[in-house]
Structure 1
């Protein structure tokens, strides 16, 4: 809800400066502000520390909508007084929209994704070649979300391949509320390095979207999966397993600088020793346009590999190029 110009409204920035005027809206990671002298201003949310208003606004945060709110500060903390009561706002980066932006209908279909590629070639005393490709795409249609991912790694030394691994996965999320969603997943992988001929799995469960803003995404989900594994040694395993996933992205600014972390914990029901952890943690730094550099650590731990001679721990650092769309 937008009122008339209220010069008592004040925008406080993280560098200590402040600007009078009127809050127009919050949208797309920016606070839109009107000042009678400076005109229309657009300030990135991570620069905003506090806002004071006399007029009332609707706020959409990562946890829901707050209606008919006016904003004030007390002891250098942001408070909002809404129809739902008085609440403390920890950070303006967690506000998805405010004012006119709350009533604007969201797009029916959104899509985003990224692909990263790393290549290394060493010649001389030893000839070593390494490839690492990661592709991830997310499609959101109203209350449903589809996520597809592909990972391929290959390494050879002196013309002998000593690593050849690829994995593809699909996840479907159906939101039941603003944050709770039902989820289903399927994945398939092969890993010659771990004597894994093939492994496939399907599962279903529930998830929770803690945050989904222009600056931070955080979600977690648990599923019950059927797991089918076939190893090069002739060993086969089929069992039910518990799968826990966590996805986290912190975007430092709109130019593409971000920190990300994803991990999965898979535990078979029939054996307390049969579990594994897979993690990917990295940092992206923008280069130009949609391109950025990425440094990433992949850490995998398999407590029950196909053979005792195979190392349970697999750790790999990569530096490559990332493309966002």
Structure 2
């Protein structure tokens, strides 16, 4: 009987979230939940009864948090706080080895501290686009584009891919897919070493198969609840396969991955790009880039707007391909 009681208590404690943060408003109301972040004058608070709510920072009287937070104050660099305690009106008590009472108005950003190399993190996005034209010709085009990453300890796995199909009067005129896997090993909190492989196949292009294997160092500038910014430099071996012949050569590449949450986490801006510098005379450079916005409808649904630019220069000519995509997707 005692064992059953202990097991029930353990299960209940694991399934019930701990809402340790409390916010007092100027009108006397009190809200309990979990502080997600403060940015742009909005505090995002995740509550058990209303999901995530946005509160204007100027409408908050004081607050309390028992979890570590990274605090940015006007004129100061970010500092680590063990916890925040409620103080007088418009004030908060910062506990970080010592105790200091500061005005709420002086705090411009709050981000929950995350042990970069200890947490287990899984996140990703999957966006879909469908375009149907019914004029003189019947054209159907659909595209899936997704990415996911898993971090555990000093390792990070990154998987990206896309699939595109297009038919015209029930005849297939475009069919291609792309898949890339990168494995990162963190040497410090910021520096890491990457090994990656990428493959593309296109049924209707002259180069019907492309494979890239590369390795090189990377640097993570930041990665927190607000977003991330990574910069990677690699040495790559590239193989092109065509119906006539195959071609292999080396390249040097520079890649960045940027994401930033805006408008109290509702809006997300992201940008990814890769610049390839081949060691052959036929190609000067190749750029594969994208940038876009995702608007969060709820915890999982997204509206997405994406701009893609692919550009290649070689033999005195520049070829560019631009695409604008509007779709709906899911995020986790």
TM over 0.5, yes or no?
Answer: yes
Q: What does 1:101-140 correspond to in 2, within 5 Å?
A: 108-140=119-151
1:183 matched to 2:194? The reply is yes
Match in the other structure for 1:289: 299
The verdict on how the C-alpha distance between 1:21 and 1:296 changes in structure 2, with shifts beyond 3 A counting, is closer
Q: Can you list the C-alpha shifts for 1:156-203, whole angstroms capped at 9, x where unaligned?
A: 223343322211000011111111111111000012444221111111
Structure 2 residue 321 is the aligned partner of structure 1 residue 322: no
2:283 aligned counterpart, secondary structure: coil
Of 71, 79, 86, the residue aligned with 1:35 is: 86
* Match of residue 270, structure 1, among 253, 268, 280: 280
Deviations 1:223-264 (CA, angstroms, capped at 9, x unpaired): 0001111124x1422111112111011112565521111111
Residue aligning to 2:218: 207
Structure 2 CA distance for aligned equivalents of residues 279 and 179 of structure 1: 24
Determine the C-alpha separation between the residues in 1 that align with 2:280 and 2:117.
Answer: 45
In structure 2, what is the Cα distance between the partners aligned to 1:163 and 1:278?
19
Aligned to 2:289: 279
User: Aligned partners of 1:223, 1:194: CA distance in 2, in Å?
Assistant: 27
Consecutive unaligned residues of structure 2, counting only runs of 5 or more, are 1-37, 42-56, 72-80
Q: Is the 8 A contact 1:294 1:319 kept in 2?
A: yes
Contact 2:85–2:93, Cα closer than 8 Å, also in 1: no
Q: Does 1:245 align with 2:255?
A: yes
Cα distance, 1:274 vs structure 2: 3.8
Number of corresponding residues: 269
Q: Is 1:302 the counterpart of 2:312 in the alignment?
A: yes
Gaps of at least 5 residues in structure 1 are: 1-10, 39-50, 59-67, 79-90
* Matched residue, 1:92: 109
TM-fit CA distance, 1:215: 0.8
Shift of 1:265: 0.9
Compute the displacement of 1:53 (Å): 6.6
Give RMSD over aligned pairs.
3.6
Paired residues for 1:210-221 under 5 Å: 210-221=221-232
Question: Which residue does the alignment assign to 2:44?
Answer: none
* CA distance in 2: counterparts of 1:117 and 1:265, whole angstroms: 26
CA distance in 2, matches of 1:246, 1:147: 13
- Tell me the TM-score normalised to structure 2 length: 0.69
Q: Which moved more, 1:281-290 or 1:246-255?
A: 246-255
Aligned pairs for 1:155-234 within 5 A: 155-232=166-243, 234=244
Deviating beyond 6 angstroms after TM superposition, the runs of 4 or more aligned structure 1 residues are: 51-54
Preserved CA contact (<8 Å) 1:203 1:225:
yes
* Residue 282 of structure 1, CA deviation: 1.1
Distance 1:55 1:254, change over 3 A: closer
Residue in 2 that maps onto 1:151: 162
Conserved? CA contact 1:215–1:253, under 8 Å: no
Q: CA deviation at 1:278?
A: 0.7
